[in-house]
Amino acid sequence: MLRHSLRRATRASSTSRALSTTTSHASAATASDEFDFVIVGGGSAGCVLANRLSADPSHRVLLVESGPSDVNKWDSWKIQMPAALTFNLADDKYNWFYYTEPQKHLDNRRLPWPRGRVLGGSSSLNAMVYVRGHANDYDDWQASGADGWSYADCLPYFRKAQTHELGPDAYRGGDGPLHVTRGSQKDQVLFQTFIDAGVQAGYPFTDDMNGYQQEGFGWMDMTIHAGSRWSAAAAYLRPAAARPNLTVVTDTLVRKVVFEGTRAVGIDAEHNRTKATTQFRAAKEVILSGGAINSPQLLMLSGVGDATHLRDVGVPVVHHLPAVGQNMEDHLDLYIQYACKKPITLHNATWKYPHNMVRIALEWLVNRTGLGASAHLESGGFIRSAPGKRQPDLQFHFLPGSLTGQLTPGAYHAFQAHCSPMRATSRGFVKLRSADPRAHPVIEPNYLATEQDRVDIRAGVRLTREIFEQRVFDEFRGDPVSPAQSVQSDAEIDAWVRQHTESAYHPSCTNRMGVGEDSVVDSQTRVHGLEHLRVVDASIMPNIVSGNLNGPTIMLAEKAADIILGHPALPKSTAPVYQPRNWETSQR
């Protein structure tokens, strides 16, 4: 909401509160340097791996990131200030700025797909909502062939990663690098009103969506610490930056993985500005952590993928692995909005009121407090859309303001719920557009290709409206804005969805983990049929989890680090998980 909050208030930001991440360009680490581990991608997973693998001083670790550092003299406030999050979604300095192919079932719209191109990756761009998903998601991973990735196996790594401001328990961590808090805007009455409306509608209250009971309405966890974004770079990379055995190279694009036969021995990289190329050798392993778009793209550029497709675009085939880039999953996001009868929304925090904006900016710059210190998605919920759903399949984020799908604030006081179906049945893909490593790949999420997905998203619209119509909203609720009150029938809702739904920016599963022909890596994160090559990021999720992906990706990398280092897995958790007794016959 504060996209332009500092443009008029300051031309620079003090970085005295943030440690500088030691970085270099490709020229600083020469081709004569050999490393034990070469990590491609400085996002959520890559930052975790760089920290954990370099903790042993005998390991020489190289992390290569295509984008710049997340800390710089002039505009790092755009990353560090939670309320400024939309800034980096709207330009390409820190963002790959991808777009999908025209979507057949969304009126042929091309949807924006921002992905982080900066240290911290998408954890430096996202809305800072920390959600782990449902326990059943991970048990489904185990059942699908990802041995050792059940909820009981994964929960200890969620706890290892985390320091929660409410303290440790059987679900929360107390001494991990990733600080998680409950938000700073509890005095905004609309957050509590949304929770109360969910309870009035017959859903439970949950005091921890990431603990015993995901289902219900309550307060969201956030990766915000001391008023600033707490990205993977802040949590993992900066504390490790001074280690002499860790080299971080920024502004450098990895063009391909270098193979000798079927063994990965290094990478071929090109500096963004000078176009100088360098090969970095890996004595032990090359690890791809570029995310659900860049990791399959890099595999294909390196000759690993469907052989026919690779030949069609002129890439020599190293290994035929047709599942690379397939099985893409994502969450859609609906912005369901009502006018607000009282002037208590974030509409006051727009440039219509410049004195407010200057005050907000200065308070954050000086104290890291106030409206600038929040992403303003502090309450939400998870519900089941119909009887027979064994776990929640709709997620809500509540925003006490007006925001369009183009990430611009509205012209009036309003509030909205972001409603996202969690488990679409449609599947998409990513493939090469050409053999040029700087060409954006073809991104085809294939949204709403099945009738079941259309049924689920209609239910999301109707159930969101029902929540907003609860009596606790009576003193605040004005007219419905989007969709309009006239949108009622299935056909009318479908037409509105086609015109207005956006991506929730959660691509995953394009190098899925498993044992079948539809998988790319095994349960040890090793690429099938190749040696000394792993993928560790959201692309290896066997199926998408029920919620935002940053927390699960960090967990995944924590667990993968133990696997790579040969450490024994943490002991399995025995913490219980809530399951509604009547889920087969009741929706709530």
Catalytic residue annotation: 506
Q: C-alpha dihedral over 40, 46, 49, 54, to 10 degrees?
A: 70
d(CA 259, CA 588): 54
Beta-strand ranges (E) seen in 87-223 are: 98-99, 112-113, 129-130, 162-164, 178-180, 216-219, 221-222
DSSP label at residue 124: G
Residue 378's alpha-carbon distances to 16, 331, 399, in angstroms, are: 28, 19, 8
Q: Is the dihedral of CA 156, 120, 292, 321 positive or negative?
A: negative
Look at residues 513, 234, 197, 189 and name the one whose alpha carbon lies nearest to residue 383: 197
Exposure string for 205-218, b = 16+ CB within 10 A, e = fewer: ebebbbbbbbbbbb
Token pair, residue 11, equals: 């031309």
Say how far apart CA 233 and CA 462 lie, in whole Å: 39
User: Does the N-terminal peptide bond of residue 483 adopt cis geometry, omega within 30 degrees of 0?
Assistant: yes
In the DSSP assignment, the letter for residue 511 is T
Upper half-sphere CA count for residue 435 (Cβ side, 13 Å): 12
**Alpha carbon distance 31, 281 (integer Å):** 7
Contact indicator for 111, 104 with CB cutoff of 8 Å:
no
Other residues' Cβ atoms within 10 Å of the Cβ of residue 273: 8
Q: Which residue has the tokens 């859903």?
A: 203
How far is it, in rounded angstroms, from Cα 327 to Cα 426?
9
Q: Give me the amino acid identity at 414.
A: A
Residues 230/224, Cβ–Cβ less than 8 Å: yes
